Amino acid sequence: MPPRPRLSSHAPFLQCCRGRTAEVLTISRGSEIKPPTCAVPTYPRPQPQPHLWSSDITTRIHSQALAMSSMPASHGHNAACCNIPPVVSEGYTPKGSYTQLGGKKTYVTGAPDAPKGLISVFDIFGYFDQTIQGADILATGINGQQFKVFMPDWFCGHPCPVEWYPPDSEEKQQKLGEWFGKNSPFDVAAALPEYVKAVQESNTSIRSWGLIGYCWGGKVAELVTSQASSNPFAVAVACHPAMVDPSGADKITVPYALVASKEETPETIKDFESRLKVPHHVETFSDQVHGFMAARANLSDPRVKEEYARGYQVVLDFLGKHWD
């Protein structure tokens, strides 16, 4: 896979990924949700609202991010370097391959006959080396457990272009507003159960399914696991999730982990954790930016590389403990 440009660790993340879903996407939990399609969009199409994307708002949001942790970042996970494959800083070579599953181009990695399947929902930037490497790390499993990881392309080959960040012009703001209007996490959450069924048909060794989502995909994880009647997952993880809604935690019925960065609102993360009624792990990496386990990870920075590796060890430890 050709290298993708690295995102600046200081690129502001948009307000819609900070909990203002109703204002920016004009989508609510009560909206009729239909599965996404690459041909004809079925999601609501809001009018762009440039004033909501202004740099002063994103700056204000970032200034509110405080360094806090519900669990000490170093607690019990200092052996990450010994338990997961070495992290590659530059020029990563994927260990998996791409195929068509459930009508979606899908990156697949892991043991062919693994008994557990993990669906990975990437962030708005799609297939980045850092996110692909994360999938390969997760596929190594833990404590003898083997995972097969599937990362479908929900954007149908059209992820958010990195050139639109920072959104420092009216043109960029309008394009971003239109892109988010076309790519709703609510739609993907509605489509995931059917996608899992399709993947299951060609992967008969898999007996149980797990879910991990990054940023935008973290919102998908919250949404799908809060629908008990249709949720196909036995466990879920949200990494530096966008649009965190504490009320969603009330309805989650499977073990749930949330790995936060310094840029998620601390009070919101604490509220979300307090409302979880299932086995859970919530941890804030207080010196890392939103996206540090996915596309925004600057792995040439030794500290980021260290915390990226430790973040994946936290996830694997949680899956090893709570995924029956």
Which of the residues in the chain have pLDDT under 50? 2-37, 39-82
What pLDDT, on a 0 to 100 scale, did the predictor assign at position 74? Answer: 30
Residue 85 pLDDT: 81
Cβ atoms of 240 and 259 within 8 Å: the answer is yes
Element (H, E) at 272: helix 266-275
Task: Go through 98-126 and write b for each residue having 16 or more CB atoms within 10 A of its CB, e for each that does not.
Answer: eeebbebbbbbbbeeebebbbbbbbbbbb
Chain segment 280-292, per-residue pLDDT in tens: 999 999 999 999 9
Write the CB contacts of 37 (distance below 8 Å, at least 6 apart in sequence): none
3-state DSSP assignment of residue 152: strand
The C-alpha atoms of residue 131 and residue 116 are separated, in whole angstroms, by 20
Sign of CA dihedral 114, 118, 119, 123: negative
**Lookup: tokens for 243:** 């649009």
Structural tokens at position 168: 């420092």
How far, in Å, CA of 275 to CA of 277, rounded?
6
pLDDT of residue 83: 60
